Structure 1
Amino acid sequence: MEITGQTKLMFVLAHPIGHVRATAILNAHFQSIGRNVAASPLHVAPEDLETVIGAIRKMRNVIGFGTTIPHKIPVMRHLDELTPNARNVGAVNFTRRDEDDRLIGHNTDGLGFVAGLKANGVDPVGKRVLQIGAGGAGRAVAFALAEAGASALRIINRDVGKAADLARNIVALYPDCDATAGPEKAEDFDIVVNTTSVGMKEDDPIPIDLGRTGPATVVADVIMSPPVTRLLAKAAERGCKTIGGKVMPDEQMGLVTAFLHV
């Protein structure tokens, strides 16, 4: 890919940066649709987030940026506007920079995750889901699953209060989804999804005991690197259908292109 003064640029802000693969997916997508846009990872420590975003406002050939761990929630306070989806989720994974230097935040994580499930033959309608995590990605996935028709959503999180708050938010918008918080057995659910960063490191523990799960259980992970986490490897050993994290950004590309006005 040739990058010139005519190329529109975007970044993906993260800390740490080594796990980021979204830029490769974005660049492949932009090339496939004939757009002169290039994406690059940008290593931004939490204490530098405000400074970096202030600089991006003034970069006239930058169309926006993505945010991943740990910036999806903190980034909101530095933006001018949030889409309804981002406001409901309470996290932002893509921000558009308009010509007047305004920054508008959006969230495509959950929509992409559900699209990835469906692309792999899994429809959330009527399904009982056990979700690990209630952070930025977790909120996006939870709202999207409820909107897609999941009948029940059980949320596990180290901070139980945070999980309970998310469950209440889900019920307020989607009363047909029985959203609750607290521990539960994996085998009692149709879908188990990890939305945390646990699994990025080789020595990370498996975030949940898969118990007596088997072929009737779908186990998904939002982590892209490694492509097969210890959770997914264990699930495969038990005969579960597994879905890796790469499906989420793959399915988001059309959503991101439209939002960025590319």
Structure 2
Amino acid sequence: MITGTTRLFAILADPVGHVQAPQMINTWFEAHQIDGIFVPLHVHLDDLQTVVQGLRALHNLDGLVITMPHKTAMAALCDEVGAAARAIGSVNTVRRTPEGRLIGDMFDGHGFVAGLEGQGITPQGQRILLLGAGGAATAIALALFEAGAATLTIANRTQAKAEALQACVQAAHPGAQIEVGAPDPRGHDMVINATSLGMKPGDALPIDTALLDPTMTAVEIITKPEFTPWLDQARKLGCRTHIGRHMLQAQIDQMARFMLGHDAGA
């Protein structure tokens, strides 16, 4: 039951219709007997700073989840960020203190790997093609090498962003075998779509699916639709597929606890 003492939490996104965090975090709140409600907020990128400034003054707001396209911009709007967010340059979870300070951190990378491992997929020893070079892609790239990936190829529309991601990973993992390349899955064991392509009807495919073969694992981070067009084609070709929901599910506990600022009694 929502009352005057119920604490508020929200996800900032654009678009917002695809997000699954509200139902998952509200279920977590119920299971942990937290008097809180989590809602979606549709915020355009140009309005993000104005919205965040207003949220600072909302005294019954305790936390935010940040998703595309706001992760990188939100890092600059926080008063403090954790080590992972600092290394990556983006945040996906924010805690609001009683004084209105915003503390951000990033759980995408470890959540992504945990989601894979929860489905019996390991990055260890894998040759991986990563599509995209934004905040989520950066977190994923760093976590893949922590998990023992053999090689990583980054393919992104803007080569400068791909090169910046390459430099970031090599700074954290000096021995990492990482290169900037084309969105060509041949010679790779795993293909990860960390772009927003597939979220909207009519989006271009992030990859030429004719180049896939059944030995590859096709991985998505988009949660809705559950099977994006390229992932659906990969499934029909006989590839092992991994949907975006697993990454989110693996992060829910971490994000909820961070927003609350304690162990929630569990």
The equivalent residue for 2:170 is 171
Aligned match of 2:75 = 76
Partner of 1:202: 201
**1 CA distance for matches of 2:157 and 2:129?**
14
**Alignment partner, residue 6 of structure 1:** 5
Q: In the alignment, what sits opposite 1:55?
A: 54
CA distance in 2, matches of 1:174, 1:4: 49
1:98 matched to 2:97? The reply is yes
Deviation by residue 1:117-156 (Cα, 9 ceiling, x = unmatched): 0011111111111000001211111111122111111000
Hey, what does 1:253 align to over in structure 2?
252
Instruction: Kindly indicate whether the alpha-carbon contact (under 8 Å) linking 2:183 and 2:207 is maintained by their aligned counterparts in 1.
Output: no
Match of 2:216 in 1: 217
Equivalent residue, structure 2, for 1:35: 34
TM-score under structure 2 normalisation?
0.94
Percent identical among aligned pairs is 39
Structure 2 CA distance, aligned partners of 1:44 and 1:57? 15
Query: Match of 2:123?
Result: 124
Q: CA deviation at 1:212?
A: 4.5
> Within 1, Cα distance between the matches of 2:241 and 2:183?
20
SS in 1 for 2:192: strand
Q: Which amino acid aligns with 1:96?
A: R
Q: Counterpart of 1:11 in structure 2: which amino acid?
A: A
1:242 aligns with 2:241: yes
Aligned position for 2:136: 137
SS class of match (2:207): coil
Alpha-carbon distance in 2 for matches of 1:41, 1:28 = 15
Q: Is the Cα–Cα contact under 8 Å of residues 149 and 177 in structure 1 kept in the other structure?
A: no
Which residue type is aligned with residue 190 of structure 1?
D
Structure 1 unaligned regions, length at least 5: none
2:127 and 2:189 in contact (8 A); partners too:
yes
Residue 216 of structure 1 deviates from its aligned partner by 2.1
Find the aligned partners of 1:93 and 1:202 in 2 and give their Cα distance. Answer: 25
What pairs with 1:218-233 in structure 2 (closer than 5 Å)?
A: 218-233=217-232
1:257, 1:18 → 2: CA distance?
21
Q: Does 1:183 align with 2:179?
A: no
Structure 1 residue 6, shift from structure 2 partner: 2.0
State the 1:184 CA deviation.
5.2
Report the residue type matching 1:53 in the other structure: V
Q: Which residue of 2 aligns with 1:18?
A: 17
Q: For 1:31 and 1:176, how far apart are their aligned partners in 2?
A: 44
Q: Does residue 87 in structure 1 map to residue 89 in structure 2?
A: no
Structure 2: 5+ residue stretches without partners: none
For 2:86 and 2:227, the matched residues in 1 are separated by: 31
Q: In angstroms, what is the RMSD of aligned CA positions?
A: 1.3
Bigger drift between 227-236 and 49-58 goes to: 49-58
Contact 1:168 1:180 in 2 (8 A): no
CA deviations over 1:99-118 (Å, ceiling 9, x no partner): 22210111111111111100
For residues 184 and 96 of structure 2, the distance between their equivalents in structure 1, rounded to whole angstroms, comes to 44
State the SS of the aligned residue for 1:220.
strand
Distance 2:83 2:208 in 1: 35
Q: How much has 1:185 moved relative to structure 2?
A: 3.0
Q: CA deviation at 1:65?
A: 0.6
Of 76-85 and 167-176, more deviation after overlay is shown by 167-176
Q: Give the Cα separation in 1 of the matches to 2:148 and 2:36.
A: 35
Which stretch of the first structure deviates more once superposed, 206-215 or 75-84? 206-215
Q: Deviations over 1:181-236 (max 9, x none)?
A: 11153131111000010001221122112344333211011111101101111110
Q: CA deviation at 1:56?
A: 1.2
CA distance in 2, matches of 1:54, 1:164: 33
Q: How far off is 1:177 after superposition?
A: 2.1
Letter in 2 for 1:183: A
